[in-house]
Amino acid sequence: MSDVLQLVEARLITALGEPDARAAITFLGTDRMEVLRFRGERDVVRYATLGMSDRPMTDPTAAVADPLCGPRAELVLTVRTGGVGPGISVLDEVLRPLAVLAASPQVEGVVVKPGASLDLGEPLWTGAPFTSVLVAEPDGLVEDLELLEPMEPVRFLPLLPMTGNEAAWKRVHGAGALQDRWLRHGTDLRDPVRSEVPLAS
């Protein structure tokens, strides 16, 4: 594990506690991606990627990839496990989709940043109504990790699951408008079986 990833894992543990499970996946032509599972307060479980921040993300239009400069990030998904809904074993199916998203900067040359939509093309887990996620602004749960210059800080970006209709509505109206609609309707974005937010005006 690189020095950067050791620091990232230490930051995650400081913020979320010791992970109770982890999985590693390596895709052809990419670095190893890990996903750590943290069992939080009450019925909350968090999944965090580890590996995406080892390299800076590069604008696909850049002629040469800078090995040091550029944005760095890891992804964090928070889900409630209590009440009616899928058990933890079903939710753990999200491990591979998260690793796919974490590898996308290397595979597809995308820069993952707040406001972006990431489409998986399949449910996040069996029976999930969500096939994509909205990348949100860091929420302070895990503080940015400062690195030695000229490297940019590692940001820990929350992922908000979206239904297909929500993702389509977001493409037309923007991320801010969708988040406002979620807020106005009191949508619990951590609920793995939540209903789609009303999208009619």
CA distance 171 to 190: 22
* Model pLDDT, residue 173: 96
CA distance 32 to 28: 10
Contact between 62 and 135 under an 8 Å Cβ cutoff? The reply is no
Nearest to 192 by CA among 168, 170, 159, 167: 159
* Model pLDDT, residue 60: 65
Q: At 47, which amino acid appears?
A: Y
Q: What is the pLDDT along the chain (201 residues), one digit of tens a residue?
A: 689 999 999 999 999 999 999 999 888 777 889 999 999 777 899 999 999 999 999 876 665 666 778 899 999 999 998 765 677 888 899 999 999 999 999 888 889 999 999 998 899 999 899 999 999 999 899 999 999 989 999 999 999 999 999 999 999 999 999 999 999 999 999 999 999 999 986
Bridge-based pairing state of the strands 72-80 and 44-50? antiparallel
Region label for 30, one of left (φ > 0), alpha (ψ between -120 and 50) or beta (otherwise): beta
For residue 45, count other CB atoms closer than 10 A to its CB.
21
* Model pLDDT, residue 201: 66
Strands (E), 98-193: 117-119, 130-135, 154-163
| Confidence (pTM) | 0.93
* Model pLDDT, residue 2: 85
CA distance 115 to 157: 10
Q: Angle between the 164-173 and 175-184 helix axes, to the nearest 10 degrees?
A: 120
Token reading at 111: 């820069």
Token reading at 135: 């990348």
* Model pLDDT, residue 61: 64
